[in-house]
Structure 1
């Protein structure tokens, strides 16, 4: 087994939005549990979620909801309309 770490780089906005999604999905275990049927996948999910929680102090800020909404808006500007593939997606 290769235990060498893998680094994933996210923008701050991406990290904030992903953190919020993971939190919601994990709190609604039926939702995430129906998507993730392979129990081994939970290990990296917990690692990613924990790392995001410890590196994003604004998730505990009073204006967190405003910051999250702003980050979502900026990311949506980047990916474009619903009918177009994301600029940084697999089809670019």
Structure 2
């Protein structure tokens, strides 16, 4: 693969839900969840990119926006 870049496109809902999950992951003992330390660098890079791209991570309505995004992404039963 070399030094090329990979672009991943996410909807705003996907980005918000993934960002929240990555934040929780980073708050855990990553060595228990990720057995290869080489994986940590891309995990941190993705999380940082999402944090910069998403507006209002610390907004008072964050929890409501997160839950609404989760509802929209869950498969219908």
TM-score (norm 2): 0.90
Q: Which has the higher contact order (CA 8 A, sep 6+)?
A: 2
In 1: Cα distance, 2:15 partner to 2:56 partner: 11
Larger Rg: 1
Unaligned segments of structure 1, at least 5 residues: 82-92
- Structure 1 segments, 4+ long, off by >4 Å, are none
Residue pair 2:13, 2:73 contacting (<8 A) in 1 also = yes
1:72 to 51, 70, 73: 70
- 1:4-15 matches, within 5 Å, as 4-15=4-15
Cα distance between partner residues in 2 of 1:14 and 1:60: 18
Residue 72 of structure 2 corresponds to residue 55 of structure 1: no
Alignment: residue pair count: 77
TM-score (norm 1): 0.77
Structure 2 gap ranges (5+): none
RMSD between aligned residues: 1.4
